[in-house]
Amino acid sequence: MAYMSEEGYKQLVEELKYLESVERPKIVSAIAEARDKGDLSENAEYDAAKEAQGLLEMKINQLKTTIGDAKIIDTSKLKNDTVQILSKVELKNAKTGMKMAYTIVAESEANLKLGKISVNTPIAQGLLGKKVGDVAEITIPQGKISLEVVNISF
């Protein structure tokens, strides 16, 4: 089961529709064009189009599985007293004083540029269940980091 926001769910559904209605026909057309060029045994265009088709179908199947396993979370029913999935968490590095904010989301919604980190990351795992004022000791690839929870919201 993959917990996600309604927005994240809608994005996945839109991506699936796009892949099925736009990208799939493009690849079918590319395969047909390459097939029309003759001998398939030495046809690099045909091989490339078939490989692209395989990758696309794999992506479509992954999206269908994720959408099928999705459980949409209604944030209006969640309490913001502890860090949980879909929490927007304001943090302060206990050592440097640097402030940062992340929203903890499902793997499929993660986008670091937008401040959305996967619930499966070491930082998110270290923050889950923490309350405002708690300090999380988190092991990251660069070593240990101490992050104080400053605020929790949705």
Separation of first and last alpha carbons in the chain: 21
Angle (CA) 143 144 146, round 5°: 150
Residue 136 has φ and ψ, to the nearest 5°, of -100, 125
- 128 — pLDDT class (breaks 50, 70, 90): very high
Name which residue leads in pLDDT, 136 or 142: 136
Of 143, 99, 142, 149, nearest in space to 124 by CA: 149
Res 60: pLDDT = 97
By residue range, what is the domain housing residue 38?
2-72
Look at residues 24, 43, 72 and tell me which one is the last residue of a structural domain: 72
pLDDT band at 88 (very low <50, low <70, confident <90, very high): very high
Over residues 46-60, the mean pLDDT reads 94
Number of domains making up the chain: 2
The residues, any chain, with a CB within 8 Å of residue 9's CB and separated by 6 or more, are 67, 70, 72
pLDDT at 1 over 80: no
Q: 51, 72, 93 — which closes off a domain?
A: 72
pLDDT of 89 higher than 80: yes
Q: How confident is the model at residue 101 (pLDDT cuts 50, 70, 90)?
A: very high
Whether residues 59 and 85 fall in one domain:
no
Residue whose C-alpha is closest to residue 105's, from 123, 89, 87, 122? 87
Cα 18 to chain centroid distance, Å, stands at 18
Q: Among the three residues 72, 93, 108, which one is the final residue of a domain in this structure?
A: 72
Where is average pLDDT lowest: 40-44, 74-78, 113-117? 40-44
For residue 96, the model assigns a pLDDT of 93
Q: What is the pLDDT of residue 97?
A: 93
Nearest by Cα to 103 from 148, 95, 147, 112? 112
